[in-house]
Amino acid sequence: MAVLASVLSIVAGLVHIAIFLAETVWWRRPEVWRAFRLPDQEAADSAAFFAYNQGFYNLFLAVGALLGPVFLLTGYTTAGWTLYLFSCGSMVAAAVVLRVGGGARYTRAALAQASVPSLALLTSIPALA
């Protein structure tokens, strides 16, 4: 199960890298800011710094979700589990905050954000027991 959990953690990390790219590199593209439910370019420009900052949060979580399995598979189990559990747990917690703070209109985004890291955490339970 540790291998499946590692694969899921890597997928979660790659998803968060895609989010990083959207929020930092591609933010001013209409198809990107519309996906974040902004009404126009002016609103996107006003939110650009906050999106940029949020993008880096997602990148940092991605790094942990990607490095955790690398450490696990190379024998550094304490560091690997720590990074993996912290990163995936933080991704799930951020999704809960998104849903609770944003209301029902953010349900789909929160589920997309939390689904893979939640599965990663669930599949790690037998390996940790």
Q: Residue 95 belongs to what domain range?
A: 2-124
* pLDDT, position 3: 87
Written as tens digits, the pLDDT of the chain (129 aa) is 678 999 999 999 999 999 999 999 999 999 999 998 899 999 999 999 999 999 999 999 999 999 999 999 899 999 999 999 999 999 999 999 999 999 999 999 999 999 999 999 999 988 887
Q: List, as one string, the DSSP characters of 45-91.
A: HHHHHHHHHHHHHHHHHHHHHHHHHHHHHTT-HHHHHHHHHHHHHHH
Instruction: Take residue 125 and report the two structure tokens written for it.
Output: 């339970």
How many domains in the chain? 1
Domain presence at residue 74? yes
Domain presence at residue 129? no
SS3 content of the chain, % helix, strand, coil (to 5): 90, 0, 10
Q: How far apart are CA 107 and CA 25, in angstroms?
A: 25
* pLDDT, position 2: 79
The model's pTM is 0.89
Domain presence at residue 23? yes
Domain presence at residue 73? yes
Domain presence at residue 36? yes
Contact 53, 27 (CB under 8 A): no
* pLDDT, position 1: 63
Domain presence at residue 118? yes
